[in-house]
Amino acid sequence: MINEIGYCLEAGGVDMGMSDTEEILHDRLNKIISKLKSSNQSNVVLIGDVMLDCYIHGFANNLNSRAPVPVLRETSREEDVGAAAHVARGLKSIGFDSKLYGVVGNDKAGFNIIDLLENENVNTQGIAIIEDRKTTVKTRLLASRESLIQGEQLLLRWDVEDDDSIPTEALSELYDSAIQNLPNSTCVVMSDYGQGMVYDEGAEKIGQAAREKNIPIIADPKLTGLHRTHGVDWIIFQSRGFELMKRRIGETTDADAAKSLIANYGWSHLVVLSGGNGVTIYSNDHETVHSQCTLNDLRQMIGLIDAAVVAIAFSVSEGLSVEETALLTNAACECILSAENTESFVISKDDLINRIGEIAWNLQVSKR
């Protein structure tokens, strides 16, 4: 049984006001808004891969004369922090202080990441600068036709990564420092992009230390790194990854797949982000909760998981229920799905308040 906590605006018919279920939903939305407005600064330990995202925009009007490939005439470019660094910015923007632990190289990209974070007052003391290491950079070429009025399309992405493992000594020092900051933290976030910052021994060590202090753990895992998530409280998948795992374990329904994964890995909650189909939370000791997307126009999905991580970190820090967490996470995803440009878009407390307020208002107006 799935508890549907979203709402649907139906055309036509006579309405005499909100039902009891809708009244409960409306009260939950207002409670979340109140929490967002009154929340105190919380500390979050954030461990994960740090990278730089580069976006190059231009017009692709012609093909190369020597090969059937588009020629991009650059019109602009920008750089922004990505992966765990982007989560750190999101946490800062909702009033949280994240202790970010990761590594960069002693190169221009690495120093750019630190400068970008420090310009927004994000704590960078936990970022280790590794000599002779390449900072991970993901560059995207986005093209449009000069004569057409239409959105950009991704033409190409190329990645710069270091093939060498992060030095063991650096990893050990970073994890030890993270554990020392646990007593002052409301939750732990592990953001695993497969670059080596989240590794077997470190994940086990931080997980054990957090559990001993009853501090919730939120993980955005690589599918190849699920063995590092045993006992994690909140796991986040996009629907595509969840479908892949469902086929991999041989289950035919979403509910059975979620039940099996939760049992196998000892998770408390599995959050599935489905874009236009909303957010579903499967739990080991709570009924399944689904919050449906209220948008009609979906523009893009870049940064969806990062926004969900921020929302869930807020929820567990403020003691919200599973139902309220689903509503807040869905609202955070809607902020991303409805954004024009997310190269530099960071979800803020005001974004969440406005989005939830609009949902509550639409619910109330539709029942007049």
Task: For residue 329, tell me if it sits in a domain.
Answer: yes
Q: Which domain holds residue 22?
A: 11-51+82-136+164-366
Q: What is the DSSP string of 181-227?
A: TGGG-SEEEEE--SSSSS-HHHHHHHHHHHHHTT--EEEE--GGGGG
CB 354, CB 33: distance < 8 Å: no
Task: For residue 69, tell me if it sits in a domain.
Answer: no
Q: What is the DSSP string of 273-298?
A: E-GGG-EEEEESSS-EEEE----S--
Task: For residue 57, tell me if it sits in a domain.
Answer: no
Task: For residue 147, tell me if it sits in a domain.
Answer: no
Query: What's the CATH code of the domain at 28?
Result: 3.40.1190.20
Give the burial string for 43-59 (b: 16+ CB within 10 Å, else e): bbbbbbbbbbbbbbbbb
Task: For residue 159, tell me if it sits in a domain.
Answer: no
Q: Across the chain, which distance is largest between two alpha carbons, in Å?
A: 69
pLDDT of residue 367: 56
pLDDT of residue 209: 98
Question: For residue 279, which amino acid is it?
Answer: V
pLDDT of residue 368: 55
pTM exceeds 0.75 for this model: yes
CA distance 363 to 63: 50
CA distance 199 to 267: 18
pLDDT of residue 298: 84
- In the sheet that holds 97-105, the strands lie side by side as 2-4, 288-291, 279-283, 269-273, 234-238, 217-220, 187-191, 43-48, 97-105, 127-130
Task: For residue 341, tell me if it sits in a domain.
Answer: yes
pLDDT of residue 311: 97
pLDDT of residue 366: 60
Task: For residue 361, tell me if it sits in a domain.
Answer: yes
DSSP 41: P
- State the 10-residue block means of pLDDT for the chain, 368 residues long: 59 54 88 93 96 94 91 93 96 94 98 97 96 96 78 89 96 98 96 96 97 97 95 97 97 97 98 95 96 87 92 97 97 90 73 92 71
Task: For residue 1, tell me if it sits in a domain.
Answer: no
Count of domains observed in the chain: 1
